[in-house]
Amino acid sequence: LFGIKKKVSGLNFKPIKPSDKDDLVLPRGYKYDVVASYGDVINKAGDTFGYNNDFTMFFPINNSNQRGLLWVNHEYTSDLWVTGPKTNGKYSAAQIQKLLYNQGGSIIEIYQDDEGVWKMDTNSRYARRITGLTPFRLTGPARGAKAVGNVDIVQGTFANCSGGKTLWNTVLSAEENYESTSAAASLNQTHYGWIVEVDPFDSNFAPRKHTALGRFHHENSAMGLTNDGRIAVYMGDDKTDACVYKFISKNKYVKSRKQANSELLEEGTLYAANMAKGTWVALTIEAVRAAAKDNKELLAKFQTQADVLVNAHDAAVLLGATPTDRPEDVEISPFDKSVFIAHTNNAKHGNMHGHITRFLEDNDDLGSLTFDFEIFACGGRQSGFSAPDNLTFDSDANLWTVTDISSSSVNKGIFSTFKNNGVFVIPTSGDAMGEAYQFASAPVEAELTGPCFTDDETTLFLAVQHPGEETEDKNNPTSMWPHRKGDNQPRPSVVAITGFKY
Ligand code: FEO
Ligand code: CA
Ligand code: CA
Ligand code: CA
């Protein structure tokens, strides 16, 4: 089917060719339903779906593969399509409210009807918004610390990029490029750039920011168990020359404690990867002060563990962690516990198309402090993909990889060969290991984000982010996806893809 001898397990599709069509193009036999678009009402209170949907995570209701809650991140807004333009370089108070409301997350209830079509249930008792205006509790060493302005409650979450699910069925959402929103809204930057936790089923579970996991340009979180039963959380820091992180809890996971396991994210050790030595370096105040030695400026900057966490990148580099090519999503293989990291690109290093790195923890133990690594797959014309970003696994050990060539570069110059962004399926074992097969192509100037399967893998959720992002004139949009009848603008939307015949 794919020109390879052995059938690749799970790949029951004929790969598509790169496309520049203004649609979500799928292999024959597959279809998509638009489940929610920017501006859609999500509940009886009249809350609306935010802008630029990113990470999605399905939470089954009663173990169903046909009904559940979908957590959706909303990463950032658009002057053209959301707030309207600034006046004299500034947003008005009303525009700032809109800017903050349309970021954060949505909890929506969705179901597959008798005809197999996925829809949103706006009568849901769970559906609600978490926004840049929602109060958040700080937890961990930086809570109430001088480094965050001595506060323990902060306003809102935004710049929510990717995330992950905890072992206790809550969502972790990653605050990534927080500077522009916090600056626009005159909010205190040290209050953002954290991993936040929300329980989609329980509005009484206080939304919280876990400072023990460090403050940086958080892309995601991938949680697993160490061999001795503690929690390990792997995290990317999406900046050029930034490090890969791992948090290990002090205490062990106890399944019967359910959501109370959230406390595990309040106490533990944050590590950053030194790839030259193959070691995880503990970011402790003692180590940082020893490394800072006689440097008065650094000694003044790093006085407490809270200072280390708030300035995690600087601490990591000071302690010898390796700067890498924009570490985006991280996933732990459920098959061999190797850890996959999408290094999206780094023009400063001439790495134009990025690569996927695979960490092999010693003894296959996520609690190990030593590891080996390999470059698992490279972007470029030969593999057919560029700018790997979000990752997820299917049960046949295929790594589903979405791409994020920036809107200003996509389908131009050295990126023209790839046409629009896409979804690629890459086997992580067997004869076809490391080869990429294209499963989907995005609408014009869109990025496909947040791939998430239902447990039975009959549905794949996907967020189509920023279609038509380079539009300059509202009357002449570069994309009109999802091509709603009577609509006059493109709309970021979450889709449900069906047709999988496993
Ligand atoms: Fe928001 Fe790193 O992508
Ligand atoms: Ca991303
Ligand atoms: Ca990206
Ligand atoms: Ca992006």
pLDDT (tens digit per residue) in 486-496: 999 999 999 99
Instruction: Work out which ligand 1 atom sits closest to the CA atom of 326.
Output: 2
How many residues in total does the chain contain?
Answer: 502
Check if 328 has its Cβ closer than 6 Å to any atom of ligand 1: yes
Q: Give the model confidence (pLDDT) of 250-301 as tens digits.
A: 999 999 999 999 999 999 999 999 999 999 999 999 999 999 999 999 999 9
For atom 1 of ligand 1, which residue has the closest CA? Answer: 161
Residues 6+ apart with CB under 8 A from 87: none
Q: Give the model confidence (pLDDT) of 465-488 as tens digits.
A: 999 999 999 999 999 999 999 999
- Ligand nearest to C-alpha 75: 1
pLDDT at 2 over 60: no
> How close is the Cα of 58 to the center of ligand 3, in Å?
21
Q: How many CA atoms lie within 13 A of 413 on its CB side?
A: 10
> How close is the Cα of 314 to the center of ligand 3, in Å?
22
Please, what's the b/e burial string for 197-208 (b: 16 or more CB within 10 A of its CB; e: otherwise)? bbbbeeeeeebb
> How close is the Cα of 390 to the center of ligand 1, in Å?
9
Q: What is the mean pLDDT of residues 39-51?
A: 98
Query: Can you give the pLDDT at residue 502?
Result: 41
Could you tell me the residue ranges of all domains in the chain?
31-498
> How close is the Cα of 79 to the center of ligand 2, in Å?
20
Query: Can you give the pLDDT at residue 341?
Result: 98
- 463, 437, 435: which is closest to 449 by C-alpha? 463
Q: Say what percent of the chain tops pLDDT 90.
A: 95
Check if 176 has its Cβ closer than 6 Å to any atom of ligand 1: yes
Query: Can you give the pLDDT at residue 4?
Result: 34
- Ligand nearest to C-alpha 388: 3
> How close is the Cα of 197 to the center of ligand 3, in Å?
21
Distance CA 487, CA 368 (A): 53
Q: For 255, phi and psi rounded to 5 degrees?
A: -50, -40
Neighbours of ion ligand 4 (CB under 5 A): 404
Q: What is the mean pLDDT of residues 376-400?
A: 96
pLDDT at 345 over 90: yes
Averaged pLDDT score across all residues of the chain: 96
Check if 175 has its Cβ closer than 6 Å to any atom of ligand 1: no
> How close is the Cα of 287 to the center of ligand 2, in Å?
31
Instruction: Work out which ligand 1 atom sits closest to the CA atom of 238.
Output: 2
**pTM here?**
0.97
For atom 3 of ligand 1, which residue has the closest CA? Answer: 161
Going by pLDDT thresholds of 50, 70 and 90, the confidence category of residue 500 is confident
492, 35 contact by CB (below 8 A): no
Query: Can you give the pLDDT at residue 418?
Result: 98
Q: What is the mean pLDDT of residues 53-70?
A: 98
Q: Which two tokens stand for residue 314?
A: 């600087």
Q: What is the mean pLDDT of residues 49-71?
A: 98
- 492, 495, 494: which is closest to 81 by C-alpha? 492
Check if 238 has its Cβ closer than 6 Å to any atom of ligand 1: yes
Going by pLDDT thresholds of 50, 70 and 90, the confidence category of residue 12 is confident
Instruction: Work out which ligand 1 atom sits closest to the CA atom of 75.
Output: 1
Instruction: Work out which ligand 1 atom sits closest to the CA atom of 328.
Output: 2
Q: What is the mean pLDDT of residues 119-147?
A: 98
Check if 394 has its Cβ closer than 6 Å to any atom of ligand 1: no
Instruction: Work out which ligand 1 atom sits closest to the CA atom of 176.
Output: 1
Q: What is the mean pLDDT of residues 494-500?
A: 93
- What are the angstrom distances between the C-alpha of 250 and each of 47, 63, 165, 232? 39, 31, 20, 10
Question: What string of DSSP letters covers 407-457?
Answer: TTTTTSGGGGGG-S-EEEEEESSSTTTT--EEEEEPSTT-EEEEEEE-TTS
Distance CA 463, CA 41 (A): 17
Is the alpha carbon torsion for 37, 491, 76, 65 positive or negative?
positive
Fold of 31-498: Neuraminidase (2.120.10)
pLDDT at 455 over 70: yes
pLDDT at 10 over 70: no
Query: Can you give the pLDDT at residue 201?
Result: 98
Q: Say what percent of the chain tops pLDDT 70.
A: 98
Q: How many CA atoms lie within 13 A of 140 on its CB side?
A: 34
Beta bridge partners of 154: 136
Q: What is the mean pLDDT of residues 384-399?
A: 96
> How close is the Cα of 392 to the center of ligand 2, in Å?
13
> How close is the Cα of 251 to the center of ligand 1, in Å?
31
410, 10 contact by CB (below 8 A): no
Going by pLDDT thresholds of 50, 70 and 90, the confidence category of residue 8 is low
Q: Give the model confidence (pLDDT) of 157-216 as tens digits.
A: 999 999 999 999 999 999 999 999 999 999 999 999 999 999 999 999 999 999 999 999
Cα separation of the two ends of the chain? 16
Instruction: Work out which ligand 1 atom sits closest to the CA atom of 404.
Output: 3
Check if 161 has its Cβ closer than 6 Å to any atom of ligand 1: yes
Q: What is the ipTM of this complex?
A: 0.94
Going by pLDDT thresholds of 50, 70 and 90, the confidence category of residue 9 is low
- Ligand nearest to C-alpha 345: 3
Query: Can you give the pLDDT at residue 501?
Result: 60
Instruction: Work out which ligand 1 atom sits closest to the CA atom of 162.
Output: 1
Query: Can you give the pLDDT at residue 154?
Result: 98
> How close is the Cα of 405 to the center of ligand 4, in Å?
8
Distance CA 131, CA 156 (A): 6
Asked if the bond preceding 85 is cis, omega within 30° of 0, the reply is no
